[in-house]
Amino acid sequence: MRIVYDKTQTREKGLAGWSFPLPGFSGHLELSPTEETLWRSLAPGHPPLGGSVAVADPSLKFWSQLYLVGESGQSQYDILRQCPFDNDQHYACIALSGNGFHGQHYRPWQALQGNLHLSVSVPLNMEAGPRSLVWTMLPAVAVMRTLKSLKTPENDLCGIKWVNDVLWGGAKLAGVISSLVVNDGRARRGFLGIGLNLAQSPSLPVKTCFLHQFLNPRQASLGLILHTLLASLADLIVLMEKGQDEVIIHEYRHHSLVIGRQVRLMSDPADGSAGAPAEEICEGKVLKINADLGLVLAGKEAPLHHGRLQILK
């Protein structure tokens, strides 16, 4: 795996805690035209520095390049989606801080120093349609696998709130986003974005928390979390490519905070009614989450696929 970064401080702060030696500076790196275009967007005005690292973990060998930037002026998830990839490389990008980051439906997300902001782009070859929704579940499952490796609680304190939030004690700890490039009925490239609060709570309309409130910072350093999360993502993507979707779906359901709970579903202005106040769609007990992420509520004939969910006490 090759690590590309913009300055020494970035490398030291972003990768401390990794289990293998980091590369020394090797001067300007030769990048392919696609990678050069990507780097100019990720770190405009900064020459690409870095080198290769010997990675024994097969899950980390999955990643071709890791781009590490001290401060990003734009969402790295958006930058990856805008890049015209012409190869089969697996790219991961992290920013130590930045502006213009966002969650689902472009809801604002604060990229604060000390937190993890990871975006990835990988080639795929899978059938589009309902099956591809496992791609939406995958990043939240990867976050839960990472937290589980830190011996975090496996009860209802920590889990996944439908569709793409990870909560701890009712407060938002992480959010994930996903998208696919589809051609001829098949998903050809996938993009994921993960924001995980480690050292600070971002100011959002919902209650938030950060991991170092519950765990020693040494136990959950940025470098260690990144290392573990990249390995978890790689393992899950390989499972998906092998058609073992049920493993991911099972884990998503296992970590769900909403199955068996009374919830209220509200309309989401981001779904096309911008400026309109949120209205209640329905209320009920969640019986099941289908493989296509449809929410099955008691007394409702059809699964629900849209809306913002509130967990009721």
What's the domain count of the chain? 2
Which DSSP letter does residue 75 get? -
Residues 285 and 149 grouped into a single domain: no
CB distance 227 to 19 below 8 Å: yes
Query: Mean of the per-residue pLDDT values for the chain?
Result: 89
Q: What is the mean pLDDT of residues 81-105?
A: 90
Q: What is the pLDDT of residue 55?
A: 80
CB crowding 239-275: b at 16 or more within 10 Å, else e: bbeeeebeebbebbbebbbbbeeebebbbbeeeeeee
**pLDDT tens digits along 252-307:** 999 999 999 999 999 887 655 455 678 899 999 999 999 999 999 999 999 999 99
Q: What is the CATH number of the domain that holds 51?
A: 3.30.930.10
Same domain, 235 and 294: no
Range of the domain at 279: 262-311
282 and 146 within one domain: no
- Any idea of the CA torsion for 241, 242, 248, 250, to the nearest 10 degrees? 160
pLDDT of residue 27: 67
18 CB neighbour count, 10 Å cutoff = 17
Q: Tell me the pLDDT tens digit for each residue of 165-212.
A: 999 999 999 999 999 999 999 999 999 999 999 999 988 888 999 999
Give the least confident one: 113-127, 157-171, 240-254, 267-281: 267-281
User: pTM for the full model?
Assistant: 0.94
CA distances from residue 173 to 42, 73, 113, 248, 284 in whole angstroms, order as listed: 25, 23, 15, 20, 25
Q: Which of 97-101, 137-141, 308-312 has the highest mean pLDDT?
A: 137-141
Residue with tokens 């902001």: 117
Given a cut of 80, whether residue 18 has pLDDT beyond it is no
The DSSP element (H or E) to which 201 belongs, if any, is none
Residue 30 and residue 112 share a domain = yes
Tell which residue, 179, 182, 176, has the closest CA to residue 197. Answer: 176
Last residue of a domain, one of 254, 273, 294: 254
221 and 79 assigned to the same domain: yes
- Choose the final residue of a domain: 254, 273, 296: 254
What are the start-end ranges of the H helices in 132-285?
134-149, 222-241, 245-254
